[in-house]
């Protein structure tokens, strides 16, 4: 691999955790877990199980594209393959674990950017 490909690979594996990426990943994870819990009878092992597997693969690809690879996603992916264990919101837990320091609340338009320095507010 040349340097250009290596740096683009690094960016893909560890993109910056911007608030938009973090909140989008959290939303995708919560939506996937909600679908798997709310529509449980359809995802019982058997005929419709491939739909559940496709959902898990899609969620994994989207989350890794948004946040980059993290080892916390591996136990979640394995847990999603075990019947009845996929009722635990493992995608949400993994994304919250990975992004616990990486996002802040989206700033509102009416508040100026402020930085706290010790006990003072600097504008």
Token match 């989206």: residue?
106
Range of the domain at 22: 7-103
pLDDT of residue 10: 62
Lowest mean pLDDT of 15-19, 35-39, 116-120, name the range.
116-120
Position 15 confidence tier, pLDDT thresholds 50, 70, 90: confident
From the list 32, 29, 21, 33, the residue with the least C-alpha distance to 102 is 21
Kindly state whether residue 108 falls inside one of the protein's structural domains. Answer: no
Q: Identify each DSSP E strand in the chain by its residue range.
A: 115-117, 120-122
Kindly state whether residue 123 falls inside one of the protein's structural domains. Answer: no
The tally of domains found in the chain comes to: 1
CA distances (Å), 50 to each of 15, 33, 35, 81, in order? 30, 16, 14, 11
User: What pTM did the predictor assign?
Assistant: 0.69
Kindly state whether residue 45 falls inside one of the protein's structural domains. Answer: yes
Distance of CA 97 to the CA centre of its chain: 9
Largest CA distance in the chain: 61
Helix (H, G, I), strand (E, B) or coil at 85: helix
Kindly state whether residue 1 falls inside one of the protein's structural domains. Answer: no
């Amino acid at each position: 691999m040349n340097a250009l490909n290596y740096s683009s690979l690094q960016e893909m594996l560890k993109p910056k955790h911007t608030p938009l990426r973090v909140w989008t990943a959290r939303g995708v994870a919560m939506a996937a877990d909600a679908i798997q819990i709310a529509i449980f009878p359809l995802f019982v092992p058997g005929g419709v199980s491939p739909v559940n597997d496709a959902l898990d693969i899609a969620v994994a690809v989207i989350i890794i594209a948004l946040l980059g690879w993290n080892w916390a996603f591996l136990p979640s992916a394995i847990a999603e393959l075990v019947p009845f264990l996929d009722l635990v919101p493992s995608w949400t837990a993994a994304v919250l674990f990975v992004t616990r320091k990486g996002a802040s609340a989206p700033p509102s338009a009416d508040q100026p950017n402020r930085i706290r320095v010790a006990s003072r507010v600097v504008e």
